[in-house]
A and B are shown apart, each in its own frame.
Chain A
Amino acid sequence: MSTLSKPWLQSRFPLLDSFRTYLTAPVLPREKPYLASLPVLIAGALIFQLLSGLVLSLFYNPADAFNSIQFIDRSVNYGWLIHAFHETGTTMIFGAVYLGIFRALWLRNYKAPGELLWFLTLGKFLVLLLIGYLGYVLADGAVSYWSLANSIGGAFGLSGVPGGIGVWFFGGPDGAGTLPRLAVFHGVLAVAMIGILLLHHAARRGAEPPVTRGVSLHPYYTSQIFAAFVIYALIFAVLVFFAPHLGENPLNRGPANPLVLPVTVSPPWYLLPLSNAGHVFVSAWGALFAVLARIALLAALPWLDRSAPGKPPGFPHKCLSLVLALDVILLCVWAMQPSSFIGGILLVLFTAYYFFHFIVLLPLTTALEAR
């Protein structure tokens, strides 16, 4: 009978009590920096993407993709604005995800007990890359058309399980059925991302050290998250209204032509860190290997890093992290250029350094540090 002494809704819907405890229990550590709000901002941005994507999907026609986007931009009321929101929202999400990954590398958040959180961060990153790639392909521009044709060709060239997955995913050679199929995957994966984010959130609470004198989520961290959100929204507004196509290949804003190959086939900036694998390893197997190896090295970080858990990062580690970030940025810059002899050599060098960092430099410096 005790449950009935509570207010009507609370006695019938116990989740309300858990939510109140979640908001007011003083279990959170003090002094978390603004950047610790990044996962919440990513979740908010994802919901924003789902809403703008929902509006776009009402008008998008995969059978006549490029022209239907022109229709959205020119003839739908505020369609151009929703489209710009969706496009720049992607840039903002990936900006936050890359910043979060760099922050984890810098602070060594991937060390115990943060391994599971780190794997979920990488999983989130991989699924986002796939969603981002599918969205890029759905634009059906002069560049993304060829990118899709090459991907399908590459997937069909694979044998065994990878080839089977490729055939199942793309459904068949590039044709009338491809974009409708990929549009479904784009939307379904985006909704599935919510599940990954919830798992990520639960694991984040687990990876935090126990707190003796903590603070509650509300009003302390809600006010901090709100401030971080306003800054995030400010950057978003500047980009969406004054630099709406930042980091995109302008050639992709023309219609696809199956008989004309564009001068530069480079994807939007957020796909570059992995897409340039194909520039270095030419065959489909090589590109697949390079992408998986890059992710596998990140996933192996809790073991590649020999330092003791909880030890603050030393000066050599900070230097190496910055050099690695610079290496990835330069890799992307060169991957955007039209192919040239020097560019090819630089791409190989920058890729080699990436592997060298994780396989040799990082275990060596952290082992020396731990001694």
Chain B
Amino acid sequence: MRRLLLAGFALACLAAPRAQAEDTLNPPHWQSEGVFGSYDKAALQRGFLVYQTVCAACHSANALHYRDLDGIGFSTEQIAALAAGVKLSTGPATLDDAFKNPYPDPQAAAAAFGGAIPPDLSTIAAARPGGTRYIFNLLTSYAAAPADFLPLPGHYYNTAFPGQQIAMPPPLKDNQVTYADGVAATSAQEASDVAAFLTWAATPNLDASKEIGLRAVLFLIFLAFIAIATKRKIWRETV
């Protein structure tokens, strides 16, 4: 993806989502990476399924609203159906409700997890060095603690987390969700997809930004040539 030329980028904007054959797990990479990278909507939708089924049980994402999901390619009817399935204290959720917060207040969350409040996931991919890759590594780096490592009570050994121990139990296992597009739901695939979804959640305007940016940069390069040529022509007349 990194080496896409401008023409390729324009083509990719027009063309339908890319073929499924590409192995995004070995080595792990995401279509949104790189200068011309854009979101893979199929991966985002799979990631949302993982988020909704697994993450949302404990984590909030207060900055996101159900209406925002049109950004990952869902239609308004699909979103309305999704929201209607979420029970808030006021009744079924609507398009303009924020994502359901699983706990009424931070105190309740702290009490449920021995003092470790599950962080809000709205901006987590932007607010951690390494972003997407960090989330993938975190979700796939659980292991049995070495013999000389004694985790704190209620903590799990995880090589990707600062301090090598984390209060979050390993959240993903194989076939925890069933993908509608038939992709095999290995735990690595789930981690990759939810990392893609959380990246979108933190920077939902990435695609629009690059689309405007490409036009602006091309225009300004063109204008720069004209401006410099004009300046030289004007100065040639003075000497």
Residue numbers of A with Cβ under 8 A of B are 30, 67, 70-71, 73-75, 80-81, 84, 141-142, 215, 219-220, 223-224, 226-227, 229-231, 233-234, 237-238, 240-242, 244-245, 250-255, 263
Contact = CB atoms under 8 A, between A and B. Distances in A.
Interface stretch (B4-12, B44-52, B174-182, B230-238): B230-238
B220 A227 contact: no
Contacts of B223: 230
30 contacts: A30-B238, A70-B123, A73-B205, A74-B63, A75-B65, A81-B205, A142-B127, A220-B238, A223-B231, A223-B234, A224-B231, A224-B235, A226-B227, A230-B220, A230-B224, A230-B227, A234-B217, A234-B220, A237-B216, A240-B213, A241-B210, A242-B35, A244-B209, A245-B126, A250-B127, A250-B128, A251-B128, A253-B127, A254-B126, A263-B162
Interface of B: 35, 62-65, 68, 119-120, 122-124, 126-129, 131, 162, 202, 204-205, 209-210, 212-214, 216-217, 220-221, 223-224, 227-228, 230-231, 234-235, 238
B122 A234 contact: no
A227 B126 contact: no
Contacts of A250: 126-129, 131
Contact of B212 (A81, A223, A252): A81
A168 B100 CA distance: 42
B224 A227 contact: yes
Contact of B235 (A81, A220, A229, A251): A220
Contacts of A73: 205
A237 B127 contact: no
A323 B221 CA distance: 33
Given A223-B234, A255-B120, A242 B213 contact: yes
B123 A227 contact: no
A73 B206 CA distance: 12
Given A74-B64, A250-B131, 12 more contacts: A75-B65, A81-B209, A81-B212, A141-B127, A142-B127, A223-B231, A227-B227, A234-B217, A237-B213, A251-B128, A255-B120, A255-B123
A159 B212 CA distance: 52
Contact of A67 (B62, B68, B124): B62
B209 A84 contact: yes
A75 B217 CA distance: 26
A234 B223 CA distance: 9
B234 A219 contact: yes
Contacts of A67: 62-63
